[in-house]
Structure 1
Amino acid sequence: MTAQPTLLAMIINRKTTMPPITLIIAVLAIWRLTHLLHAEDGPWDLFARLRQWAGSGFWGQLLDCFYCLSLWCALPVALYYGATWIEAGLYWLAFSGGAIVLERLTAPKPVVYEMPFQGGPDVMLRQEPSTERDERRAAN
C-alpha cells in the first residue's frame, strides 16, 4: 500500500517543463487582459468607468501605462509556473515582454503631420505690419 502524496509535496516536487503552446497561451492571455484594462471600454463601459474611477493616482497611472500594467498582469502567472524565485522572475519578465511585443505589433501607428517648409534659412517668421511700426516710432 502506497501513501498518497500531499498537495504541498506535489507542489514542491513538481517538475516544471513548459510546453511552447503553454508559453504562447500565457503570453496571449496576459496581453489580452492588459489590453482590456488599458485600452478597451469593455461591456457596458465597465473598464472605461474603472479607469475613470482610478483617476490620476497610483491606480490611474498604472492603468495608463501598458508596460507597467503588463508586469502586474504577468506576475500571478509567473508565480504559478515558476518553481524557484529565479525561475518565477524570469517567467515574469518573459511573459510581460511577450505581451509588450504583441502590443507593439498590433497597436496602430501614430499619424504624424508635417508642415511644408516655406522659405529659406533667412526668412523672418513674424513681422508686424509696417504702418504699425511707423506709428510707434512717431509716438516715441
Structure 2
Amino acid sequence: MDASSLRISKFDGTNFHAWKFKMQMVLEERDLWEVVSGEIKAEQCETQLDQATYKRKSRKAMAVICLAMEDSQLPLVRSASGACDAWSRLEDHFEKKSLANKLFLRRRFFTTMMEEGDDVLEHINKLKTLAEQLEAPE
C-alpha cells in the first residue's frame, strides 16, 4: 500500500487506544517509529549525518502526528521538543495508568450491556477495546 494513501480519522480526544495503534502503524510504515518510540535518541547519534537524519525523521513524525489530530487537541503537543516528547505527552494525558483508572475501566468492562437494537459486532468491538485497555502494560 502506498504511504500517501494511508488515511486515519483525526484524533478528537476520544478512543485514544485505537488512534494510537493506527498512528503507530502509519509511523512504522514510514520508517519513523524508532524516533517516536524513543528506540533511537538524539544523544545516540554520533555523526553529524546521523544527527541530521534523526532531526529530519523527528520533524516528519511530528508533522504526521499533528496532522492526524483535531485542532482542539493540538495544544497538548504544540510546545513539545520533538516527536518522542509529543507522543509521551499524549500517552501521559490519555493513558492514565493509575489504579483509579484501571478500576474505572474494569467497572466499565463488567457493566457494559448491549442495548436492544444495538449491533452485536459493535458491542463485541467495544468490549474488546476495553479489554485491550485493561491489558495495556503499565
User: TM-score normalized by structure 1?
Assistant: 0.29
User: TM-score normalized by structure 2?
Assistant: 0.29
